[in-house]
Amino acid sequence: MSEDRFITLTDITYDRDILEKFYESVKHFAQDYAKIRDNATEGLFSSIRVDDLEGKEYLDYPEISDIVKLFNPEVKQIKSGNIAITVYKPGFQFHPHIDFSRKSVIMIPILPSDGGAGVDYYDYAILSDKTVITGHSCGVESHQEEFYLGTHTYSTVHPTLMDATQVHGVRNDSDDARVYLQLSLYDEFERCKELIKSGDFYNKDK
């Protein structure tokens, strides 16, 4: 079941330590996500606004661009506007939800060093009485065991491709803040799987 929603991209490796050092250098530019996205709920999590750094964008930093250039999505190439470093506070519980705009996402853990709490995934029926939480996702208020299907644990060596249109959430009961580099994609997850199988999902010359 997990492989229908998540793929650990074992053809790609990344250096978490390099990303942690980069995060430490820019973390003071974190902003509440509600100040970045219209209709987002205030206080859910924060995102690093590197464009406040002398007008630079994410792709101006080799720590980020060296990772991005490895991928070759079909619908839309990954630009700075599709890149985010998100910071979830300790104990943050992410309600079961689906994303509206993006179809898939590449998740790359930065902190904690073990990748943090895994991603829960649910039967779509959990949304039968769905509530719109923000302008970018819909979901329900909390975990519901009857619809729970399992938990995917992130690798801290390989990025993870996730189907953002399937119901997912996080129960983080730890004292760890969770920090991730996210690359938003607009290719359907199944199409990404086909591209991976054919070898066209990756830039072979990078």
pTM of the model: 0.86
HSE at residue 27, side-chain half, CA atoms within 13 A, is 16
Q: What is the pLDDT of residues 92-135, one digit of tens each?
A: 777 787 877 899 999 999 999 999 888 889 887 777 765 555 44
**Confidence at residue 44, expressed as pLDDT on a 0 to 100 scale:** 61
